[in-house]
């Protein structure tokens, strides 16, 4: 699995989990995590900078097209 796919899978998982937590509990503060992930994805689309991609690259995950 490439860095690109791992980053997308991680971001999608975080968004879904935090939305589910907000729906089924009174912990609406977790939506700030969702907002952070969304903002990070938006800035990564324009700048190409993604902290998770840097970490994955350092531990030797196969590079992808977007985050090489």
Take residue 52 and report the two structure tokens written for it: 């998770």
Compute the chain's Rg from CA coordinates: 13
Task: Give 11-50 as a DSSP string.
Answer: HHHHHHHHHHHHHHSS-GGGHHHHHHHHHHHHHHHHH---
pTM: 0.88
pLDDT tens-place string over residues 22-59: 999 999 999 999 999 999 999 999 999 999 999 999 99
Q: Is the pLDDT of residue 68 over 80?
A: no
């Amino acid at each position: 699995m490439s860095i690109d796919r791992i980053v997308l899978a991680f971001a999608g998982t975080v968004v879904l989990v935090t939305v589910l937590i907000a729906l089924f509990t009174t912990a609406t503060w977790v939506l700030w995590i969702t907002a952070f992930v969304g903002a990070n994805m938006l800035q990564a689309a324009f700048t190409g900078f993604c902290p998770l991609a840097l970490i994955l690259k350092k531990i030797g995950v196969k590079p992808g097209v977007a985050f090489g």
